[in-house]
Amino acid sequence: MEFYASCPAAFEQALARELRALGIRRPRPLKGRVSFEGSVRDAYRVCLWSHLASRVLLVLGRFACATPNDLYQGTYDLPWHEIIRPGASIAVSAHGTNPELRNSRFSMQKAKDGIVDRMVDETGARPAVDTHAPDARIVLTIRGDRASMSLDLSGEPLFKRLSRTVLARAPQGVDILRPDYAALVLAEAGFPELCQSARDAGTEPPVLVDLACADGGVLLEAATWLTDRAPGATRTRWGFQGWAGHDRTVWRELLAEAREREQAANRRPGRIIATDPDERAVEASKRVVAAGRIACAVDIIDPKADALRRALGRNVPAGVIVADTSVMAPDVIPSALRLATDATALAPCASMPIAWLSRPHGGLRIPGRAPSSTSNLLLGSDELQLVCLASASAEAAGTPYPGAGAGEPHSGKGAGGNRTADQKPSRAARATVDVGDGKPIPLLVPESEQFARRLIKVARQRRKWARREGITCYRVYDADLPDYSAAIDFYEGTPVEADHGQRDRGLAGGGRNRLGKANGHDGDRNKLDAAHGHAAEPATERWIVVAEYAAPKTVDPELARDRTLDILAIAPRVLGVPPEHVHAKTRQRSRGGSQYGKQGASVRHGGSPRADATSPLGDVLIREGGLSFTVNFNDYLDTGIFLDHRITRGLVREHARQARTFLNLFAYTGTATCYAADAGVEETVTVDLSNTYLDWAERNMALNGFIGSAHHFVRDDVLAWVEQQVRGRNRWDLIFCDPPTFSNSSRMGERTWDVQRDHVELLKGVVGLLEQGGVAIFSCNLRSFKPDVEALRAAGIGLEDITERTIPEDFQRNKRIHHCYLVRRL
């Protein structure tokens, strides 16, 4: 009988090794699958024991399939009444196309017609179709003018094996690493072979050292190998149960064998030692491990070399080291690398192979370790990289990597994987830098010492300037050294209380009104009462945001990453910021969508999610210009306030003193509206397309006491709203307009926005909304922006360039950070 096991790209070689270990003869790795021949017992064994396969399929037949008629006839000719169990429901899926069969849904329907017609002709009964939970899943695959039909023996994907208890106990917002990906990490480290060798020899099982346990996914999978527990042992529903050829006796025998093996392994339970520099990951792993009811010992320790040394003890058996930093916040990764460096210096770990799962170009540098393979993976939409590192002595001796198996060179190749051909030596032999606190900082790149010296100098200058000007949030460093291309922003503030957002929501509530869509509380411009405004001031704390500018393609990605990791290690020490208050982001050229991008959610992409990650309110309270604002360092690319607009906001306040009404277009979090309200305008209107930012703006206003029906918040497409208002009677004395560079948000319909292309039409509308003698402040951050002065003059619009006087001292290195103009009717 012919079968194949499907798998994600780059799993093929590891899956073939696993199948050989299960007794399958001559497995053949192909793209996205491994084919093999065997008996029903062989196929059942793979279903029950494979950690890496996604599905196991029985090939039912192949036939010529150039046309729809070929497809129908080829399907009809198969003896479906001998394949499908009587009374079983079916579902059909189709994959692949050819010139005559270009639509998978059409192909699926044609194949289903052939199956149903043959069943009716043979049995007189029409099988039920159940696309959600069928008893038998049939898979059509078209390649060129040939097609194959297969029966899915697994039913649901084999990687869907996490128990409901584990999923329910995992902290909210945490997605446990998919079991087959966790299994690949362990397989590439050679962990399964070590476990089997220990069982065969009757010796102590290997130890697993997990230096970045993330969400506990690798721990759960390792436990199944240490306890010799079949991954499919707890599953009760299988695809082969809808197959007429299902052999219940063979299946029961395999289940009984699996129970005996697990009982035998539990007499000598293995040991797992786990840690993570991120405390939230440690807590998540503890909950996941407890819910998983792991039989082997799991020690979750502090992320320190001394703690690891004590946990290992004496007479340590063979083992492997793993780490999963794919969801680790970039600013924590240096701590993980330092821990790995310290761990490999311990005698028991010196010869242990390492398998490290990370995002691509993770800057993985561990002294004394050389990458033996690199596999590029794709999990959903997330790009991951699995790097295997052997000890230098093993590499020099030509020792096969444990995961390779006897006589087979290990390779991360296969679809999506690549073997690293030329390994580069480590750039630094434990280079360090002292930033003045007496504690040397290990460096990945020796030249990072120049960055440290530069940052110390500019930080001292900025601190004096900020103290003199009464500024608490400012830019410290802005790509001063070309090779260290990042911006570092410093924030001083206080954490927002857990119930603060709810309290402000009550103050600012009331819905949306006349200009669209919001009704505040009754009353004029109202300040919060003294009970809310005069509580004891909490102590301020410090944060920094490190925004890395994407490196040019000519720069070695790993070198760029190492430099960034050095920046993240040096900056908090120089600026006196605790490591947990360091936030790293990567800025790339905008390719459309919202003006303010969301930073990445909880599905294995970005840092560990906060418990209140769904809240639109920032988590830190800052002060600027005598006003309070909330900022958010975790959830969005921008924090909620543009520091380069500090002077511009002051300009809004200055003009607002002579204005009665104020309009804020593309308002973001409404900071300019707060400045205008503070100047004493009688009415404000704040317009933005995003509900998230509009709510945030309303909270910022309420935080400063600006509540009531005089303050309106409008959620709308700004361009369409301006066109609508021009046709009405509403006019404003002062308008602030800070549009995005580009947007193709789906909420704009078919319209797109390009500030260079569309600014004339926008400013025509803006001027049309000004009262006689009114003024607009127009700003944009397109570095190459050039206003079409002639077209504007022809439309009766005057433009005064005030950019130079709106660039703050801390942004003088980047004088094109924004452009700013006063706009008036000629």
Rounded mean pLDDT, 808-816: 93
**How sure is the predictor about 205, in pLDDT bands with cuts at 50, 70 and 90?**
very high
Kindly tell me if the per-residue pLDDT of 508 is higher than 60: no
Do residues 561 and 361 lie in contact, with contact meaning Cβ atoms separated by under 8 Å?
A: yes
Rounded mean pLDDT, 688-714: 95
Q: Return d(Cα 457, Cα 516) in angstroms, integer.
A: 51
Kindly tell me if the per-residue pLDDT of 438 is higher than 90: no
More confident position, 578 or 186: 186
| Predicted pLDDT of residue 706 | 97
Kindly tell me if the per-residue pLDDT of 506 is higher than 60: no
| Predicted pLDDT of residue 78 | 97
| Predicted pLDDT of residue 745 | 61
| Predicted pLDDT of residue 82 | 96
More confident position, 504 or 273: 273
More confident position, 604 or 688: 688
Lowest mean pLDDT among 337-346, 381-390, 399-408: 399-408
**How sure is the predictor about 557, in pLDDT bands with cuts at 50, 70 and 90?**
confident
Kindly tell me if the per-residue pLDDT of 535 is higher than 50: no
More confident position, 618 or 415: 618
Beta bridge partners of residue 715, listed in sequence order: 688
Tokens of 801: 């360039």
Rounded mean pLDDT, 19-29: 94
> Cα angle at 260 between 189 and 47, to 5 degrees?
60
Rounded mean pLDDT, 531-535: 38
| pTM confidence score | 0.57
| 627-631/732-737 β-pairing | unpaired
Max mean pLDDT among 136-150, 158-172, 501-515, 613-627 falls in 136-150
| 146-152/55-64 β-pairing | antiparallel
| Predicted pLDDT of residue 439 | 84
| Predicted pLDDT of residue 694 | 96
Kindly tell me if the per-residue pLDDT of 156 is higher than 90: yes
Closest CA to 45 of 7, 17, 18, 8: 18
Kindly tell me if the per-residue pLDDT of 727 is higher than 80: yes
Kindly tell me if the per-residue pLDDT of 531 is higher than 50: no
Cα torsion 394, 395, 400, 404: sign: positive
User: Could you read off the pLDDT of 39-55 as tens digits, one per residue?
Assistant: 999 999 999 999 999 99
| Predicted pLDDT of residue 403 | 53
Q: Going by C-beta distance under 8 Å and a sequence separation of 6 or more, which residues neighbour residue 673?
A: 662, 664, 667, 684, 686, 697, 700, 701, 706, 711
Return left, alpha or beta for 446; rule: phi > 0 is left, psi -120 to 50 is alpha, else beta. alpha
Rounded mean pLDDT, 495-508: 44
Give the rounded distance of the alpha carbon of 562 from its chain centre: 20
Do residues 682 and 710 lie in contact, with contact meaning Cβ atoms separated by under 8 Å?
A: yes
Domains along the sequence of the chain with CATH: 2-152 (3.30.2130.30), 164-227+266-418 (3.40.50.150), 486-826 (3.40.50.150)
Kindly tell me if the per-residue pLDDT of 310 is higher than 50: yes
More confident position, 22 or 589: 22
**How sure is the predictor about 425, in pLDDT bands with cuts at 50, 70 and 90?**
very low
**How sure is the predictor about 629, in pLDDT bands with cuts at 50, 70 and 90?**
very high
Closest CA to 232 of 282, 289, 158, 166: 158
**How sure is the predictor about 295, in pLDDT bands with cuts at 50, 70 and 90?**
low
Tokens of 659: 């204005």
Rounded mean pLDDT, 276-301: 87
Beta bridge partners of residue 373, listed in sequence order: 388
Give the rounded distance of the alpha carbon of 499 from its chain centre: 27
| Predicted pLDDT of residue 587 | 60
Name the average pLDDT for the chain: 85
Rounded mean pLDDT, 378-387: 90
Q: For the chain, how big is the Rg over CA atoms in Å?
A: 32
Rounded mean pLDDT, 704-733: 95
Beta bridge partners of residue 378, listed in sequence order: 383
Kindly tell me if the per-residue pLDDT of 169 is higher than 80: no
Closest CA to 824 of 735, 725, 721: 735
Kindly tell me if the per-residue pLDDT of 542 is higher than 50: yes
Q: Going by C-beta distance under 8 Å and a sequence separation of 6 or more, which residues neighbour residue 470?
A: none
Q: Going by C-beta distance under 8 Å and a sequence separation of 6 or more, which residues neighbour residue 54?
A: 5, 6, 7, 8, 154, 157, 158, 159, 180
Kindly tell me if the per-residue pLDDT of 635 is higher than 90: no
Rounded mean pLDDT, 732-736: 98
Q: Is 372 helix (H, G, I), strand (E, B) or coil?
A: strand
Kindly tell me if the per-residue pLDDT of 437 is higher than 70: yes
Rounded mean pLDDT, 329-348: 91
Kindly tell me if the per-residue pLDDT of 233 is higher than 70: yes
Please report, in angstroms and rounded to a whole number, the separation of the first and last CA atoms in the chain.
Answer: 85
Rounded mean pLDDT, 622-628: 96
User: Could you read off the pLDDT of 296-308 as tens digits, one per residue?
Assistant: 789 999 999 999 9
Q: Return d(Cα 594, Cα 246) in angstroms, integer.
A: 54
Q: Return d(Cα 91, Cα 108) in angstroms, integer.
A: 9
Closest CA to 574 of 442, 446, 454: 454
Q: Residue 126 has what DSSP assignment?
A: P
Q: Return d(Cα 818, Cα 806) in angstroms, integer.
A: 9
Do residues 365 and 301 lie in contact, with contact meaning Cβ atoms separated by under 8 Å?
A: no
| Count of Cβ atoms closer than 10 Å to residue 457 Cβ | 12
Kindly tell me if the per-residue pLDDT of 523 is higher than 50: no
Kindly tell me if the per-residue pLDDT of 607 is higher than 70: no
Question: 681 phi and psi, to 5 degrees?
Answer: -60, 150
Which residue has tokens 């050229």?
589
Kindly tell me if the per-residue pLDDT of 431 is higher than 90: no
